[in-house]
Structure 1
Amino acid sequence: MGHVEHRHEAPRSARIFVVTASDTRGEAEDESGAFLRRAAEAAGHVVAGYRIVKDEPAELRAALDDAAAAGVDAVVVNGGTGIAGRDRTYEAVAGLLEKRIDGFGELFRMLSYAEIGSAAMLSRAVAGVWGGRAVFSVPGSLAAVRLAWEKLIGPELGHVLRELRKDARR
């Protein structure tokens, strides 16, 4: 079956939870989280939750647990993916993933390279599967979030969920 058929069979709407990891942003300053919520709703998805948390593993884990309790299909985390001492989102998210979708980070960095050049290699964007749901972790800048949503997450989310639901049907 080709990718066109896969997309045809893919769910049209997903329940999404948005998490912003930031030590400085409140909701008023969270352009990236606001963009993700608007873009998801514009694509026909339901935003089932939204949290801003400090870039602390325990707070990130609590937000992901809230997402799981809300019964969401996907979580999009933005922020904390760099290499500075305070950037700990990658470790918190990657440590939970049962399966990684390595192509997500590879493609994100490739697309990001076209926009920002060699600094793209500093991004530790990662995605995978946790508890039967898709988890995407991307940098917190508005440009990065837009790139990730428009080029990767938005176009393939239904396909990813279709693949995950195969297991549930067996």
Structure 2
Amino acid sequence: MSSELHRKEAESQGSVPIAVVTVSDTRTPETDVSGQRIRALAEAAGHVVVAYRIVKDEPEQVLQALEELAASPARLIIFNGGTGIGRRDRTYDVISRAIEKPLPGFGELFRMLSYEQVGAAAMLSRATAGVYRDKVVFSTPGSPNAVQLAMEKLILPEIQHLAWELVR
């Protein structure tokens, strides 16, 4: 079956339940522009955000959120923040260790598309994705432009296909 036929079959499954996690030491629900953007873009595309939270960039908090949301009705979990190379950027480290089936193409494509926007600084991103406990997990940088790029160019165009592949 071609990817086009897969997409058509996946579309018949309807909306996809999504969980959103912002990883930040400073954001609040009121100041979380990136988390709000992910939620708005997902809902505008007809999907349902079933969980949303903000956690500190502490490995145990990131892992706890991942484990709790992997047990939730969400089929996709989208983390934003903590993917850089700074001392406090630890989301990638937790997510990449937990992933059971990596999707390296996500990070590769994200950095390629990001390069068009920010130039060589794109190499500092450790955006990643994969499957964890039968959920698709994405980890994107926390900037509003980065989450918009990831959502519009990569995640939303394939969201139903991704979710369908896990249950077919």
TM range (shorter): over 0.9
In the TM superposition, residue 70 of structure 1 has moved relative to its aligned partner by: 2.0
Deviation sequence 1:54-97 (CA, Å, 0-9, x none): 01111011111221232210100000000011000000111110
Instruction: Specify the alignment match of 1:127 in structure 2.
Output: 129
Instruction: Specify the alignment match of 1:51 in structure 2.
Output: 53
Q: 2:105 aligns with which of 103, 106, 128?
A: 103
Overall identity of the aligned pairs, in %: 55
Instruction: Specify the alignment match of 1:7 in structure 2.
Output: 7
Structure 2: gaps of 5 or more residues: none
Deviation sequence 1:108-163 (CA, Å, 0-9, x none): 00000001000000000000000001000000000000000000000011111121
Q: Matched residue pairs, number?
A: 166
Distance in 2 between residues matched to 1:147 and 1:104, nearest whole Å: 12
2:61 paired with 1:33: no
In the TM superposition, residue 44 of structure 1 has moved relative to its aligned partner by: 1.2
TM-score (norm 2): 0.96
The alignment partner of 2:136 has SS state of: strand
Instruction: Specify the alignment match of 2:166 in structure 1.
Output: 164
Distance in 2 between residues matched to 1:123 and 1:46, nearest whole Å: 27
Distance in 2 between residues matched to 1:66 and 1:50, nearest whole Å: 12
Instruction: Specify the alignment match of 2:119 in structure 1.
Output: 117
Instruction: Specify the alignment match of 1:142 in structure 2.
Output: 144
2:69 paired with 1:70: no
The alignment partner of 1:86 has SS state of: coil
Structure 1: gaps of 5 or more residues: none
Letter in 2 for 1:160: L
Letter in 1 for 2:75: D
In the TM superposition, residue 2 of structure 1 has moved relative to its aligned partner by: 2.4
Q: Is the 8 A contact 2:39 2:49 kept in 1?
A: yes
Q: Is the 8 A contact 2:70 2:132 kept in 1?
A: no
Distance in 1 between residues matched to 2:27 and 2:84, nearest whole Å: 16
